[in-house]
Copies of this chain bind each other. A is one copy, B any other.
Amino acid sequence: MRKLTGNLLYGQSGGPTSVINASAYGVIESAKKSNDIDKIYIMKHGIQGALQERFFNAKEQSKTNIELLKHTPGSAFGSIRYKLADYKDDDSDYERLLAVFKKYNIRFFLYNGGNDSMDTCAKIANFMETKDYDIRVIGIPKTIDNDLPFTDHTPGYGSAAKYIANTIAEIAYDTLAYPVGKVTIVEIMGRHAGWLTAASALANINGFGPDLIYLPEKPFSITKFKKEVKQIYNENKKCLVAVSEGIVNELGEFIFSSSRATDEFGHSQLGGVAAKLAELVTRELKIATRSVELSSSQRAAAHFQSLTDVNEAIKVGEKAVELALNNQNNLMVIIKREQEDPYTVSYDGYNLSACANEEKKMPDNMINKQGNGVTSVFMKYALPLIKGENKPKFNKGIQKFAKMK
């Protein structure tokens, strides 16, 4: 393939993480340094922005705002959940993109997201090839769920894990206040993979963590749950449970529907998993309970960014630019763990379509035999990812976030 010069188009897609904007920072800063890249366009709301020609111009943003990207949660440039059709069925979006790419001389297309975004990315790369439009398409991984394959971990996971573990440590300490405690059940994100819920175990490092951890990888039995909670409560007069929102029964069905829909009479349906398990404990074990849902802070708690995660998110953005400039195409950037103690990583690219079509779950050797906790293999894997703190930028006690224009 010939070496390209032209303009770069970057976008964010899917649910935010607290470090996706750090990857944007990496892309922007390294693209600025290249003589082969002229303009750096950023899609407003991901692929929708590309289709509608709504772009930010990275070079027009203030230095302050670019620096703040490293501390800003959410999607600073807007995100979208939009799955492109297969172009063999309907190529209208693709033809539109091709026209936009030509109009703006887009030769480098970098898309930052999870599984679905990598799927979008791969489809665009393949379509452009069929049209002989010369472009380098690189996917930049992000997801708090840590479920992308072929990469040791995903940017976003370390910070979410750090937030979860520290919040659990605080809640664990809080539950010790009274002589007779409660059964406290904390619900953690992750519909299909237990990585985030498992991160609660990291709190145990300093002595205050969950007693029981239930993951979607192992079938959840209500009978076993009640027995395990009862035993710990009888011993300690308190019990702290971390549970994934995605726990399933032996048939792989969600234990409870997690939606807060209303029935035909307008009555509220059951709430989240933690609330329902708490009700069960109160009703059947006659023990006082408290349920906590960590909610959107898991992806938005910029103030608890792992410094390791932020730095890797930046590097992954830089690597995407490097790969694109080096004539690589149709790849997702991956992180390879090179060494433990000291933990070191390297960066590479991996076939995009392969990355798009697999969800990485926790392997068996990271989950304990009883199915209610993690092993030392998980602890060793996850601890380096939460290392270091990225001190927030405060103004009057409140964090400052980037404002793009």
A interface residues (Cβ-Cβ under 8 A, vs B): 15-16, 45, 48, 72-75, 78-81, 162, 165-167, 169-171, 173-179, 202-203, 205-208, 260, 262, 266, 268, 270-271, 275-276, 278-279, 282-283, 290-293, 295-297, 299-304, 306, 383, 386-389, 391, 394-401, 403
Contacts and interface: CB of A to CB of B under 8 A. Distances in A.
Contact of A206 (B166, B176, B398): B398
Contacts of A302: 170, 173
A397 B165 contact: yes
A130 B383 CA distance: 59
A268 B271 contact: yes
Given A78-B176, A260-B275, 17 more contacts: A72-B173, A78-B179, A79-B177, A165-B398, A169-B401, A171-B300, A173-B401, A202-B396, A203-B398, A206-B399, A206-B400, A260-B279, A271-B271, A271-B275, A383-B397, A387-B397, A388-B397
A231 to B, nearest CB: 23
A283 B296 contact: no
Q: Could you say which of A81, A282, A302, A399 has the most chain B C-beta atoms within 10 Å of its C-beta?
A: A399
7 contacts: A72-B173, A81-B178, A170-B297, A262-B282, A268-B270, A389-B394, A391-B391
Contact of A166 (B81, B208, B398): B398
A203 B271 CA distance: 28
B395 A170 contact: no
A14 to B, nearest CB: 9
Given A78-B177, A171-B300, A300-B173, A396 B205 contact: yes
A89 to B, nearest CB: 25
Contacts of A292: 293, 295-297
A13 B17 CA distance: 39
A399 B395 CA distance: 24
A149 B75 CA distance: 43
A397 B202 contact: yes
Contact of A300 (B79, B174, B395): B174
Contacts of A174: 16, 73-74, 296, 299-300
Contacts of A72: 173
A301 B81 CA distance: 32
Contact of A399 (B15, B166, B276): B166
Contact of A275 (B78, B268, B395): B268
Q: Could you say which of A177, A178, A205, A283 has the most chain B C-beta atoms within 10 Å of its C-beta?
A: A177
A177 B79 CA distance: 5
Nearest to A401: B173
A293 B208 CA distance: 23
